[in-house]
Amino acid sequence: MPEDFKSQLRALGLNSGDVVLMHSSMKALKTEKAPVDFIKDVLSVIGPEGTLLVPALTYENVTADTPYFSVSETEPCIGLIPRTFFHMPGVVRSLHPTHSICAYGKLADELVSKHHLDETPVGPNSPIMRLLEHNGKILFIGDILHACTFMHGVEEIVGAPYTLTRERTRYFIKDANMKTAEKEMFAHDFYGWGAEYQYVKNILTYPEIKTGKVGQADSYLIEASALLKKAAEKFKGNPYYFVTDIRKYINLRNVTLYIAVSLDGYIATEEHNLDWLFAVKGEGDNGFSNFYNTIDTILMGRTTYEWIMKQENGNFPYKGKECYVFSRSGKENTEHVKFIKDNAVGFVKNLKRRSGKNIWIVGGGDLLSTFTQENLVDEIIITVAPVLLGKGIKLFKENDFQTKLSLKATTRYNQFIELHYSVVY
């Protein structure tokens, strides 16, 4: 018996003239039909007066490391149907580096026309949020409510605390005329949080949400305006209702501050002098080699880098390690060092997700303060020298936030004491 997707879609509540955002799983359909034929069935149901939107997200291949996007060339990183729809004749795409939307139908050009004005992924000019202007619907083919991109827009509206990066990322965006523009934008930041958007089933009732079968896939049709209203109400009571803290379940590389300090908390004199440190009697290399073997990546600020290079007469001392120096002014990369100008927080979050050994923060007061505030520092290992400097360069800057530590170990190296803490978030 031939599959009658059109009848099933109509039974679900999809009508002629609808403006609909579709999330879909070909696997869930369990059909021998080609993706393009299923898409044509959807278009047939909404007819020439309707408009179909499909996410064409590229957050995996357009990042702080590779911030280049072409509206006509960059492939979506999600699903067979989004990739197929992207290549269909007549489909247009919104201009956004990570959260573009493809559209076909009567309102397609209008809905994608303003996305480039936003500074966030799913802002008010995203075609997704412009569903609200047209009594739009959200269609899920498969039990994939967890992939509800519309919820990102709700999170941006209510200001969910985990949603956006604090720093902007600089993107290079090529439009349909092959003209490239630079734009600094906020990115989504779900670092350590797992989306639980399937909970929308708990807050919506019929006819706000309709359920049924399309092919063999459990499917849902949701009124966008109702979802915004009900989800916003939930956020007021619990801003973390739609996410789960997964930091303890994911394997991330540790970021460690490893540094020597005077007993009164200074890392150098006002003249950046360390003679006081070298005058203290230690034991061997005071544990440095053991620590150095646990890391393969080094982070530091520009001032720290320039001081090190001056002390080493221009010879970089950490050859063989991957080294990144954060500098707002930007500099040319060298054989041993890469300079990072934009979005240090996002860059380090991506570093932590990569495979490898741990990561060492060599120095940089502003850098350390930012990373600590963003919950990126995992361990602090401080070797305390029995010296009171009285004044100098403080290890920790004054901040308006507190950080709790848990003591893991203490080790004595003659006159030095090493204090090894884990950071408690």
Instruction: Return the domain boundaries, the chain.
Output: 5-247, 251-424
pLDDT at 2 over 80: no
The whole-angstrom separation of Cα 384 and Cα 395 is 12
Q: What percent of the chain has pLDDT over 70?
A: 99
Q: pTM here? A: 0.77
CATH 3.40.430.10 for domain 251-424: yes
pLDDT at 425 over 80: no
pLDDT at 6 over 60: yes
- The mean of the pLDDT values for the chain is 94
Structure token pair of residue 363: 């120095």
**What is the strand order of the sheet 68-70 is part of?**
68-70, 164-174, 180-188
Q: Tens digit of pLDDT for each residue in 213-259?
A: 999 999 999 999 999 999 999 999 999 999 998 877 777 899 999 99
| Structural contact between residues 324 and 361, judged by C-beta atoms closer than 8 angstroms | no
The one-character DSSP state at 321 is: S
Q: Collect all residues with Cβ–Cβ distance below 8 Å to 361 and sequence separation of at least 6.
A: 255, 256, 257, 258, 299, 300, 367, 368, 371, 377
Distances (CA, A) of 228 to 125, 129, 351: 16, 10, 34
Residue 206 has what pLDDT?
97
Q: Tens digit of pLDDT for each residue in 82-117?
A: 999 999 999 999 999 999 999 999 999 999 999 999
